[in-house]
Amino acid sequence: MEREEFLSVYRHSLAHILAKAVIELFGIENVQYAIGPQIADGFYYDFILPRTISTEDFDMIENKMREILKRKEDFTVREVSREEALELFRGQKFKTELIEDLPADEKLTIYYTGEDFVDLCRGPHVENAQQLLSCAFKIKSVSGAYWRGDEKRDSLQRIYVYAFPSKDELKAHLHMIQEAMERDHKKIGAQLDLFMFDETAPGMPYWLPRGWKMYQALLKYSREVQERHGYTEIAAPLVNNKKLWLISGHWAHYVNNMFMVPGISGWLAADAEIPGVLDNLQEGIAEPQAVKMLAGSALYNRETEDTMAAKPMNCPNAMMTYKRTIHSYKELPIRYSEYDVLHRKEKSGQMNGLFRVQEFRQDDDHTFVMESQIEQEIADIIAIADEIYSTFGVTYRAEFSTRPDDFMGDIEVWNRAEAALKKILDDKYGEGGYEINEGDGAFYGPKIDLQIKDALGREWQCGTIQLDFQLPHNFGLTYQAQDGTLEMPVVIHRAIYGSLERFIGIIIENFKGIFPFWLSPYQVGIVPIREEHNEYAKKVADLLQENGIRAEADYSDRNMKEKIKTFKNYKDPYIIVLGDREASEETVSINLRGSNRQIQNVPLSDFVRMCRKMNEEHSLELIDSVE
RNA sequence: GCCAACGUAGCGCAGUCGGUAGCGCAACUGAUUCGUAAUCAGUAGGUCACGAGUUCGAGUCUCGUCGUUGGCUCCA
């Protein structure tokens, strides 16, 4: 904690130095300075400047900051009245707004750095800039940001700076950034031929043969686990008429994120020409053109009755599936798992490799339960999450979001459900062993989010467990209770991977492309030394395939070293070399991934057993000796 | 959507002042038949993202569009 305070004091102080440097460089009359808080790896400061800052300016700004530090000026604090403050920051609109927004009785403190720079600030700061001389900092980037995050307000230039107490720590941090860049799933995905994108389908991955093998391995594993827990899988339409979205509420709340298939409101009886169609929405650039349409052309219209939309979520179709028949309390819980393709339209600039896409699959499920079953069902879901996350060797953290102000439904149901969830979380993680976000739940029910932590310590929200009191209501779902009355089930939405696409992105970075055996696109690379060994190699390949082991063989006449190199670049866990010796003795010689170590002359049956064991146990570690 | 940067062969990159489109790897062909991370020789591969503009001439300068990346915002 001490270190945290220290970090906050000097990062914040450095932020003032940055502001002072920028003002000295551009002139106070040309600069509007906003706020400069500290963040995880440094700080930023927002400005309005007469021109845009580019990377070429970074040195200049950093040098100016160092020059200012060398002046060894004092940071002096002064308490001022609101009037005094307003006078002092006359012409600085952001500071003025901040002052006016503070409660009337709040004490205003201002900090001087030297004589000529003053900033509104709660402090505390270092006493003298000298104390910052040993700090290490480096401008990270400049990007756009809005004043108070509101896109309708001023657009500011945000200067991000890395800042650490010592050069070594900055160096370590830059090293970590470098490491993260090397693990970039977009880079590794291309290197390992896992997936690709094309501009005709922004944010919609093409899964290449190798990537798809991994995808299937993840699906297979998910299905295995869920089947054990009594889940039954369904598949449903990807595109539904808007009637469905009107019932579910998506048409009202989510329509701008949906890919639309407009309906047809008619056909042209004769060729027609539509004059004055603008080719561009931007003023001054758009030129009106006549568009020709041939007789028989359909006239598409989003508002017609046969308009359809691609599903952004599986829930409505799961509700329809439940509704097909009447249900008895004896059937519940009913667990419909689903891996269908979903589409969500994102604003341009929102996409990011596999982390944020417009087309994806979830390891989704909708479970229909009686209220009395919530507790046990959630406990079971958490058990599934435990099992799956531990298989990937990652830890996770739960966040509990409770009833928001604009909740819908019966407050008593909410209270009972939240109490049940809290009890499970307390039992599982201990009180305080998870975070509570009061009022952060969805309007239709409380939720638990599961954040996993990857090998670099970065956190990702993957799993989510949400109670839903709204959809059963919208779709009029019922079950017949023991006493013969019709009751409404509660729906639990849940996913463990979250989106398969994003999860794969995360594990690519977590494992740096060096996947556990069971997950590797190909698990064994087969290298016959000479063409005369192809026959034996083929026999081995067939045997592996029969045993559910994914193997690839290179039967070409290339040099064996080249074959090994190719498989090593693909990071195949085992590369087996087959020559005279192996063929005559029915053995394989294994090259272990990640080392130059080999295990010679392993009996074929032992090798198959090793591979099968890792597939069955979903082992994290590669077996590196014959047992 | 907003701010900024980027887009040259499958991949990684070079291309100066506006003057004939280049390199490495990969691919293909031939030779080599090899015991653990690059055998040798040769060949082919381009709408320089797309569209306008300036110019005698544009990969290079200007504008626009699309895509990607880093942020903002939102989210799984």
For A553-591, how does the pLDDT look when each residue is reduced to its tens digit (9 = 90+)?
999 999 999 999 999 999 999 999 999 999 999 999 999
ipTM of the complex: 0.91
Q: In the structure, how far is the CA atom of residue A355 from the C1' atom of nucleotide B9, in angstroms?
A: 29
> Could you tell me if A76 and A129 are in contact, meaning their C-beta atoms sit under 8 angstroms apart?
no
Tell me the H-state helices in A52-166.
57-70, 82-88, 93-101
Question: Higher pLDDT residue, A542 or A49?
Answer: A542
Element (H, E) at A80: strand A75-80
Phi then psi for A197, rounded to 5 degrees? -130, 160
pLDDT in the model for residue A283: 45
**A593-614 per-position pLDDT tens digit:** 988 889 999 999 999 999 999 9
Q: Which nucleotide is nearest to A462 (CA to C1')?
A: B76
- Residue A141: pLDDT band (50, 70, 90) is confident
pLDDT in the model for residue A287: 58
Q: In the structure, how far is the CA atom of residue A531 from the C1' atom of nucleotide B24, in angstroms?
A: 30
pLDDT in the model for residue A120: 87
User: Per the omega criterion (within 30 degrees of 0), is the bond before A124 cis?
Assistant: yes
pLDDT in the model for residue A284: 46
| Bridge partner residues of A450 (DSSP) | A398, A463
pLDDT in the model for residue A484: 92
Name the average pLDDT for chain A. 89
Q: In the structure, how far is the CA atom of residue A54 from the C1' atom of nucleotide B71, in angstroms?
A: 14
Phi then psi for A270, rounded to 5 degrees? -145, 160
Nucleic acid strand B: bases within 7 A of protein CB: 1-5, 7, 11-12, 26, 32-39, 63-76
User: What tokens does A71 get?
Assistant: 């002046």
Q: Which nucleotide is nearest to A39 (CA to C1')?
A: B71
**A498-510 per-position pLDDT tens digit:** 999 999 999 999 9
Q: Report whether pLDDT(A1) > 50.
A: no
- Residue A282: pLDDT band (50, 70, 90) is very low
Alpha carbons A417 and A436: distance in angstroms, whole number: 15
* CATH of segment(s) A517-617: 3.40.50.800
Q: Report whether pLDDT(A270) > 60.
A: yes
Q: What is the mean pLDDT of residues A210-220?
A: 96
Q: Which nucleotide is nearest to A190 (CA to C1')?
A: B11
Domain boundaries, chain A: 2-181, 216-238+311-511, 240-271+293-309, 517-617
Question: Higher pLDDT residue, A238 or A80?
Answer: A238
User: Could you say which DSSP state residue A107 is in?
Assistant: P
- Strand locations in A370-478 (E): 395-401, 435-437, 447-453, 459-468
Percentage of chain A beyond pLDDT 70 is 97
A209-228 helix and A500-511 helix, angle to the nearest 10 degrees: 110
Q: Is A537 left (phi over 0), alpha (psi -120 to 50) or beta?
A: alpha
User: Could you say which DSSP state residue A597 is in?
Assistant: -
CA closest to C1' of B72 belongs to A145
Q: Which residues of A are catalytic?
A: 315, 344, 362, 364, 366, 447, 493
Judged by average pLDDT, the poorest of A36-40, A66-70, A546-550 is A36-40
Q: Is A230 left (phi over 0), alpha (psi -120 to 50) or beta?
A: left
* CATH of segment(s) A2-181: 3.30.980.10
Question: Higher pLDDT residue, A10 or A189?
Answer: A189
Q: What is the mean pLDDT of residues A59-87?
A: 87
**A142-175 per-position pLDDT tens digit:** 888 888 877 778 888 889 998 888 888 888 888 8
| Bridge partner residues of A310 (DSSP) | A239
Alpha carbons A323 and A476: distance in angstroms, whole number: 8
Q: In the structure, how far is the CA atom of residue A418 from the C1' atom of nucleotide B69, in angstroms?
A: 42
User: Could you say which DSSP state residue A1 is in?
Assistant: -
Contacts of A183 (CB under 8 A, 6+ apart): A456, A508, A509, A510, A512, A513
Q: What is the mean pLDDT of residues A62-87?
A: 87
Percentage of chain A beyond pLDDT 90 is 52
Alpha carbons A31 and A25: distance in angstroms, whole number: 10
CA closest to C1' of B36 belongs to A561
Alpha carbons A565 and A560: distance in angstroms, whole number: 9
> Could you tell me if A521 and A504 are in contact, meaning their C-beta atoms sit under 8 angstroms apart?
no
Q: Report whether pLDDT(A534) > 90.
A: yes
**A408-436 per-position pLDDT tens digit:** 888 888 899 899 899 999 999 988 889 89
pLDDT in the model for residue A330: 96
Q: Is beta strand A447-453 parallel, antiparallel or unpaired with respect to A459-468?
A: antiparallel
* CATH of segment(s) A216-238+311-511: 3.30.930.10
pLDDT in the model for residue A444: 87
Alpha carbons A561 and A354: distance in angstroms, whole number: 34
pTM of the model: 0.89
pLDDT in the model for residue A277: 65
CA closest to C1' of B52 belongs to A285
- Residue A278: pLDDT band (50, 70, 90) is low
Q: In the structure, how far is the CA atom of residue A194 from the C1' atom of nucleotide B47, in angstroms?
A: 29
Question: Higher pLDDT residue, A542 or A454?
Answer: A542
Q: Which nucleotide is nearest to A349 (CA to C1')?
A: B1
pLDDT in the model for residue A6: 73
Q: Can A216-238+311-511 and A517-617 be said to share one CATH topology?
A: no
Contacts of A507 (CB under 8 A, 6+ apart): A392, A515, A519
